[in-house]
Amino acid sequence: MNPGESDGNRKMSDLSRKDQPSPTEPTRLHTDAPGVGTRPRVGIMGGTFDPIHNGHLVAASEVAWVYDLDEVIFVPTGRPVFKLDKAVTNAEDRYLMTVIATASNPKFTVSRVDIDRPGITYTVDTLRDIQRLRPDSDLFFITGADAVAEIMRWKDADTMWDLAHFVAVTRPGYSPSLPALNLPDQKVDMLEIPALAISSTDIRRRSAKGMPVWYLVPDGVVQYINKHGLYSRGGESDTD
Ligand code: NAP
């Protein structure tokens, strides 16, 4: 990985342009560029996924394209550390919705490492577990920019930088200033994903009101939500 110079709000010296993109169009990494390695490149899409939605899927697809990833492993969190006092849908439901949502994409897989590890979920443990599963790969941890804005408070933050490159995907109109976060140089990139106008919070709110969520989440996830009564009153959660 050779992230480097600034390109808009992103930092990647290993990007080379083949054609002229529009101002909002991301520039693709070319793995045949000098200095870019040949090891497998694996994305780790971390999130609570309560529920997974089409914005997450578009973000993973876009990051996979920009960084020329061979695989994106979706990793639903077990017990999210900053949500210990909030109701979160039980892990098996979130895992199964993630499997349903990703099933048709040959590059997407789902891992249980976070939901099977006892205790609170910390990303440093996620990265170590995936490193054990994909020992010779370069890892790219992908998650929401709002979560990344807190990253210096994460457990063993100093260690994480050696384990993966970080990609913070942002909603349109939301872009935290990375320099203000005092992050280590060239370890975190930001990428705006217009489809992230969709949010899990909004889907839960719509479901609770009986509003449709078709086309905000994959069809199978709509059916899973309805079949199991998630997000309506009485839906199961880990803190109920
Ligand atoms: P969150 O607080 O639920 O999410 C913060 C924001 O980021 C929300 O707007 C959320 O939108 C968005 N987001 C979350 N995951 C995303 C993804 N994969 N792609 C696009 N947007 C995403 O964050 P979280 O889900 O609890 O945590 C996100 C990841 O960071 C997880 O892997 C978690 O384990 C890790 N994390 C680690 C630590 C630590 O190690 N101490 C602390 C916090 C988080 P949606 O609600 O629409 O997804």
Cα 102–189–72 angle (5° rounding)? 20
Question: What are the extents of the domains in the chain?
Answer: 37-198
Q: Please name every residue paired with 166 in a beta bridge, in sequence order, or none if there are none.
A: 141, 188
- The predicted structure's pLDDT at residue 240: 38
- The predicted structure's pLDDT at residue 92: 97
Per-residue pLDDT 10s for the chain (240 aa) are 433 333 433 333 333 333 445 555 677 766 665 556 789 999 999 999 999 999 999 999 999 999 999 999 999 999 877 888 788 999 999 999 999 999 999 999 999 999 999 999 999 999 999 999 999 999 999 999 988 888 888 899 889 999 999 999 999 887 777 777 778 888 899 999 999 999 999 999 999 999 999 999 999 999 999 999 999 854 445 543
- The predicted structure's pLDDT at residue 15: 35
Using most ligand atoms within 8 A of CB, pick from 48, 63, 206 the residue to mutate for ligand 1.
48
CATH number 3.60.21.10 is the correct assignment for the domain at 37-198 = no
Has this prediction a pTM greater than 0.85?
A: yes
Nearest atom in ligand 1 to 75's CA? 32
How many whole angstroms from its chain centre is CA 201?
A: 16
Using most ligand atoms within 8 A of CB, pick from 143, 158, 166, 216 the residue to mutate for ligand 1.
143
Q: Give all strands (DSSP E) within the chain, no chain letters.
A: 6-7, 10-11, 41-47, 71-76, 79-80, 108-110, 120-121, 138-144, 165-170, 188-192
CA nearest neighbour of 141 among 156, 155, 128: 128
64 vs 20: CA distance, rounded Å: 20
Element (H, E) at 91: helix 91-102
Span 82-139, pLDDT tens digits: 888 788 999 999 999 999 999 999 999 999 999 999 999 999 999 999 999 999 999 9
User: Measuring from each residue's beta carbon to the nearest atom of ligand 1, which residues come in under 6 Å?
Assistant: 45-48, 56, 59, 77, 80-83, 121-123, 142-144, 146-147, 154-155, 169, 196, 199-201
The residue with tokens 């489809």 is: 195
